[in-house]
Structure 1
């Protein structure tokens, strides 16, 4: 879910990417891959990793479904891993080729979306919440009312990131429902709340890291790691955890069924499970990872950061999004389509 700005990596020819010894094609969220990590990997293995960016799970899924993409690894969010798996788009991992598989923190092994980590390796995890410039708005930021019942100080100054699953489920929790609900009364309330709030929004866009750092926007629904990066550039910014409910995500790396550089992919998967390397991923994008022992290699400012260490009072409000039923997905898509008009 998360994370994620404009594409910064090399974009490759649409005709597909030929396999070649010593190369690896990674399809990942934008601004989410540490260049330092890739340099270290190349220095140790001789393998060059080329990164192609995407901005949404649905974008990645559609590209992989279409075939002919040439990618080897992809990094879907938790609720999309079962879709990739069930559609036969990713391969079951051979754990005998992953010497560092035991470094996955036990809490991230038997996860609901991939029990036993048969198909994926943790990349990073975090939350979706509210980022606010406290010089502009000094009220409660730990509520989705910031974007669903916009305070006067933020009207025309708030951005809502265009992530359907996050935004629609935030609205569902706000009106008292459960994520991926099929309850049409709850869905109508969520839809009405979103439609009523939209005129008070400035935009529905990515790019909050830059625009909030520069005071172009006063608030945004965004991701916690990016929120920390914003605060480091602009100390007036704070991150809020909606008490009505907010999404948690874990993005994980999966080997594509039609990967052409399989040996290189396994070397990369094993490499990122070393604690010091997992810490490099986190140090760049500012999200927690799922590798035990990585904490000692993390920057000091992440160990106590309010965007990374969830305050106790808001922990229970965080929920991993389930994989929605086709009917629930249909309802949410209808709401989202109307919201885009």
Structure 2
């Protein structure tokens, strides 16, 4: 079992007031996860095959995951944080080790993910890599005569009222890169302050800080925004399905990359549904299930090869793991997490 640490108290103080307490869910496998990770298109078959009932609470940011865990995360069985906060969650004692001997396709996961320090501690794994992708940028094709190639478009007064930005601490990363500070995970206090100033100057141009995939889709479909950041592959497909042409791009200032993992909430390993669910999610059923719903790349290229078309396999960079090296993959912020979160909150409070 995971060890309780004083870090739980610290995280509770930082996050709970902002996000509140989760609701209890009994008699089922309860997930705290992102949209699409528990979609009926592949979860229904799992429920039918195993008799396990799955319920999901969706989040819009990593900070919300931390807040809900700090507020009483025992009501959940599994969570899917990104790799920038997995170490924090492990050290806080919110989760317990994953018995990789019970994960049937563990060795098929990309070595880059299996070797990450921030999913391990004291010789044990605490997370099962699941999906990955980029925080790309996106624009309406009919809104720009010259396609944007730089972050400058998100700070251009000509786009006033037509810009959306993810309501997440990663907004600090965006502003820092725009300012020319590329060391986005080790920013100094002065660099963070400069990013805050840039975001405050940008704020009158922003139509909405979006929190969920559906919210951003609605902004585009409703004709409210022309450019934003996006969870690459997901919202663009939903918007295109509504007949609106949008284009994703990696700006000149680069883009962040992320990797989400399943983690077992402390005390949930004994749930009879936990490991069957994890194995399903790493199999063809779960890997192509989430790829087809969200458009994300997946952690098990062997399963992906077995269930994807060649076109999809290539489009999702499953054949090119070196693509990961071109992105600014999210990294743990350590004791600087509070500085980034507080900085973003200060922008929104203006």
TM range (shorter): 0.7 to 0.9
User: What is the CA distance between 1:141 and its match in structure 2?
Assistant: 2.7
- Asked if the contact 1:209–1:227 (Cα under 8 Å) also holds between the matched residues in 2, the reply is yes
Q: 2:124 & 2:217 partners in 1: Cα distance?
A: 32
Deviations 1:137-196, CA, capped at 9 Å, x for gaps:
23343322121x2251x22111111011x2101111222221233423322332222111
The corresponding residue for 1:181 is: 186
Q: Give the conservation status (yes or no) of the 8 Å contact 1:279–1:295.
A: no
Question: Is residue 2:160 matched to residue 1:172?
Answer: no
Tell me the number of residue pairs that the alignment of Structure 1 and Structure 2 aligns: 320
**Equivalent residue of 2:268, what SS?**
coil
CA contact (8 A) 1:125 1:290 kept: yes
Is residue 113 from structure 1 mapped to residue 121 from structure 2 by the alignment?
Answer: no
- Aligned residue for 2:281? 272
CA distance in 1, matches of 2:139, 2:96: 41
User: What does residue 202 of structure 1 align with?
Assistant: 207
- Partner SS, residue 180 of structure 2: coil
What are the superposed Cα offsets for residues 306-341 of structure 1, whole Å, 9 maximum, x if unpaired? Answer: xx45999x9765211211132x33332332122112
Partner residue, 1:220: 228
How far apart are 1:261 and its partner, in Å?
A: 5.4
Q: Distance in 2 between matches of 1:117 and 1:280?
A: 28
TM-aligned CA deviation for residue 292 of structure 1: 1.9
Q: Which of 273, 295, 302 does residue 305 from structure 2 map onto?
A: 295
Distance 2:340 2:65 in 1: 19
146, 161, 167: which one pairs with 1:162? Answer: 167
Deviation at 1:53, TM superposition (A): 1.4
User: What SS does the corresponding residue of 1:245 show, helix, strand or coil?
Assistant: coil
Is residue 62 of structure 1 aligned with residue 67 of structure 2? yes
Structure 2: how far apart are the matches of 1:182 and 1:161? 20
Work out the CA distance in 1 between the residues paired with 2:236 and 2:270. 35
SS at match of 2:223: coil
CA RMSD of aligned residues (A): 2.8
For normalisation by structure 2, the TM-score amounts to: 0.82
Aligned residues of 1:231 and 1:237 also touching (Cα < 8 A): yes
Whether the 8 Å contact between 2:83 and 2:260 is mirrored in structure 1 is yes
Query: Which of 193, 212, 233 is the equivalent residue of 2:198?
Result: 193
Shift in Å at residue 136 of structure 1? 0.7
Instruction: Compute the TM-score of the two structures, normalised by the length of structure 1.
Output: 0.84
Q: Secondary structure at the match of 2:343?
A: helix
In structure 1, the gaps of 5 or more residues are 1-12
Extract unaligned runs of 5+ from structure 2. Answer: 1-20
Post-superposition CA distance 1:252-305 (Å, at most 9, x none): 110001327522111111111213431111111111110122134236764455
**Deviates most, 294-303 or 241-250:** 294-303
Q: CA 1:302–1:215 in 2, change beyond 3 Å: closer, same or farther?
A: farther
